[in-house]
Amino acid sequence: MEIRRIAVVGAGTMGRGIIQTAVAHGFEVVVAVLNEHERTAARAALQAAFQHAIARGRVGGQTLADLEGRMSWTTELDHLASADFVIEAASEDEQVKCEIFQRLDQVCGLAVILATNTSSISISRLAGATHRADRVLGMHFFNPVPVMSPVEIVRGAETSPATLDATRQLAERLGKVAFVVADRPGFVVNRVLMPLINEAAYALLEGVADANTIDSLLKLGCNHPMGPLQLADLIGLDVCLSILNVLHRDLNDSKFRPCPLLAQLVEAGRLGRKTGRGFHVY
Ligand code: NAD
């Protein structure tokens, strides 16, 4: 099936980036959001992002009307029935995602591939919520999506080779570089990255240094483009905490135990850039 119309579920940090990238690459995109408030906020953010991209000549002469004209919005998953391919980018919560996958399975055509942008949740378990486990897989983009080139394509226990191929081709049409990885908690990048972020939080908690010093040392000492606490704020501290909880539980290894400071900041609503405060203030 030729993929022309992509459905995106969720229009938070990642959903918006995926929508922007898909629209800029000529796809029609239908977006499912929870409510009108999220639709208004996401549309405004995308309009600003498109204007910025047009001003910088990054969308090949397309106008704002061209780009916005390829997006449609709904608050009902039932309205995604016309999509050729679905990318779920809702909150990192297994229960939420399972319910979404159950509904998508009922609504979408049998040939449609259901992909999740989860950072850590088992693809095979999500696939088990559907009757099409061979057409379910992970499509893990990186933040900010329009800028970051890799995509981890995560092969669930029953994902078929045809599903992997079609998704790899779609990733390439979106301008991405696809890497196929196995369905183990955190896949590759978060399994390696989250312990770094967690350890930086412990160093802050223990008073080894303040947040700016920790970030500056990792930037200059390890040649990283940004420090681990800055990166955690960009990802979202709630997202980092969810990923660490999954790594801790599913790998059953205490080295992934989330730092109490991270949990405390999330409880206080300090989620990083998206709320204006996390480890740093924005
Ligand atoms: P976010 O909190 O910014 O956005 C999630 C959005 O999903 C929220 O707007 C929420 O209201 C919405 N939502 C929840 N249930 C929904 C439903 N039933 N239907 C429609 N929308 C629903 O989170 P995010 O950072 O965009 O993360 C989304 C997914 O992407 C998560 O699985 C996360 O692990 C993954 N991810 C995040 C990053 C990152 O850097 N933030 C990177 C890669 C992958």
Task: Dump the DSSP string for 92-161.
Answer: S-HHHHHHHHHHHHHHS-TT-EEEE--SSS-HHHHHTTSS-GGGEEEEE--SSTTT--EEEEEE-TT--H
CATH of the domain at 76: 3.40.50.720
pLDDT digits (tens, 9 = 90+) for 109-133: 999 999 999 998 999 999 999 999 9
- Tell me which residue range forms the domain holding 257: 190-274
Residues in contact with ligand 1 by the CB-under-6-Å rule are: 9-10, 12-15, 32-34, 38, 89-92, 96, 100, 117-119, 140-141, 143, 235-236, 239
The answer on 197 and 160 residing in a single domain is no
- Mutating to test ligand 1, I would choose from 91, 101, 245 the residue with most ligand atoms within 8 A of its C-beta, which is 91
The answer on 115 and 13 residing in a single domain is yes
pLDDT exceeds cutoff 80 at 41: yes
Query: Distance between terminal CA atoms of the chain?
Result: 45
The answer on 12 and 133 residing in a single domain is yes
The answer on 173 and 157 residing in a single domain is yes
- pLDDT for 44 equals 97
Residues with catalytic roles: 119, 140, 152, 190
The answer on 93 and 26 residing in a single domain is yes
Indicate which atom in ligand 1 lies nearest the CA of residue 93: 32
- pLDDT for 1 equals 77
The answer on 178 and 148 residing in a single domain is yes
**Residues forming a β-bridge with 71:** 29
pLDDT digits (tens, 9 = 90+) for 212-247: 999 999 999 999 999 999 999 999 999 999 999 999
* Domain end (from 166, 182, 198): 182
The answer on 124 and 258 residing in a single domain is no
What would the mean pLDDT of 58-78 be, rounded to a whole number? 95
pLDDT digits (tens, 9 = 90+) for 143-161: 999 999 999 999 999 999 9
76 lies in some domain? yes
Write out the two tokens for 50.
């498109």
* Spatial separation of the C-alpha atoms in residues 153 and 138, rounded to whole Å: 5
The answer on 197 and 63 residing in a single domain is no
User: Structural domain tally of the chain?
Assistant: 2
What would the mean pLDDT of 44-59 be, rounded to a whole number? 95
* Domain end (from 159, 182, 205): 182
